[in-house]
């Protein structure tokens, strides 16, 4: 009886972890680098083809928290609050590196913004589907300190490079005709958070501010873009994988005790 009760308790616990909805994603960039000329020139001087790679967790069950129009830009629906409550987080545990680990960055929590069939976005053929992952809030009227309380700045652990400091990490996907002539299919059917992130080519942006600027304000003139972004998900949510592994180990232990 004790064994049966123990098994039931473990199964219940593992099912609760699975229902949390977190999925691990690994990402990497394989394409062209552009943006701030000083940073791009430096990166290409130490690495012939600079790229960014890493991982994070995505929770498709996170609630909608606001609209991007409420804090200064666009028509995105924003999912995932910057809180310690896992049920309200959409993106967590970013770990990344640039140029094969020469530069590293970390962020505990971010948000997902998306827009289905947006009627107008420069450079793309409308209607456009858009998904953007932001690990720090974008500037509100060009000021990082005027933001909703639910989207307050977090502690991005970044790096310094030739007088610039990393301020934000963004991953994004757009449908329509890409500015470089690549056509991407539509990938959203509504403004609901998708079960999985797009498996088409996207872009990654590293936003910087001038290190000597005490206000830490940044503009997109200091951004470096990495094309050819691809993300790969696990087939099973990682927390669930760990729970199932633990379940298997417990099962082996129980069977051994029964045989002894």
- Percent of the chain having pLDDT more than 70? 66
- Rounded distance, CA 97 to CA 149, Å? 29
Kindly report the average pLDDT of the chain as a whole number.
76
Distance CA 108, CA 89 (A): 10
CB 139 within 8 A of CB 219: yes
For 223-243, how does the pLDDT look when each residue is reduced to its tens digit (9 = 90+)? 999 999 999 987 655 554 444
Q: Which two tokens stand for residue 210?
A: 């001038």
Distance of CA 40 to the CA centre of its chain: 23
- Picking from 39-53, 197-211, 233-247, which range would have the lowest pLDDT averaged per residue? 233-247
Asked whether 114 and 132 are in contact (CB, 8 A), the reply is yes
Pairing type for strands 52-59 and 64-67 reads unpaired
Return the H-helix or E-strand segment holding 239: helix 238-259
Give the pLDDT confidence of 91-117 residue by residue, as tens digits.
999 999 998 889 999 999 888 989 888
Q: What is the pLDDT of residue 149?
A: 46
The residue extents of the domains of the chain are 1-20+237-260, 22-236
Report the range of poorest mean pLDDT among 78-82, 124-128, 245-249: 245-249
Cα–Cα distances in Å, from 155 out to 94, 108, 181?
12, 8, 37
Report the SS3 class of residue 65. Answer: strand
pLDDT category at 163 given cuts 50, 70, 90 is very high
CB 92 within 8 A of CB 177: no
Least confident range of 104-113, 145-154, 155-164, 232-241:
145-154
pTM value is 0.77
């Amino acid at each position: 009886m004790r064994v049966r009760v123990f098994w039931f308790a473990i199964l219940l616990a593992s099912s609760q972890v699975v229902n949390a909805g977190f999925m691990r994603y690994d990402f990497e960039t394989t394409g062209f680098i552009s943006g701030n000329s000083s940073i791009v020139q430096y990166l290409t001087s130490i690495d012939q083809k600079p790229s960014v790679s890493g991982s994070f967790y995505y929770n498709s069950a996170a609630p909608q928290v606001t609209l991007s129009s409420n804090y200064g830009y666009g028509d995105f629906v924003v999912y995932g609050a910057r809180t310690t409550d896992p049920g309200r987080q959409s993106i967590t545990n970013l770990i990344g590196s640039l140029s094969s680990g020469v530069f590293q960055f970390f962020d505990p929590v971010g948000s997902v913004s998306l827009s289905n069939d947006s009627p107008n976005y420069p450079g793309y053929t409308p209607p456009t589907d858009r998904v953007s992952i932001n690990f720090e809030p974008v500037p509100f009227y060009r000021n990082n300190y005027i933001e909703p309380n639910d989207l307050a700045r977090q502690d991005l652990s970044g790096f310094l490079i030739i007088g610039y400091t990393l301020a934000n990490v963004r991953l994004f996907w757009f449908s329509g005709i890409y500015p470089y002539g690549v056509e991407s299919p539509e990938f959203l059917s509504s403004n609901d958070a998708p079960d999985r992130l797009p498996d088409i080519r996207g872009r990654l942006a590293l936003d910087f501010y001038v290190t000597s600027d005490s206000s830490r304000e940044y503009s997109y003139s200091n951004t470096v873009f990495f094309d050819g972004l691809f993300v790969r998900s696990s087939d099973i949510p990682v927390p669930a994988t760990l729970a199932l592994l633990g379940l298997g180990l417990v099962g082996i232990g129980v069977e051994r005790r029964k045989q002894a």
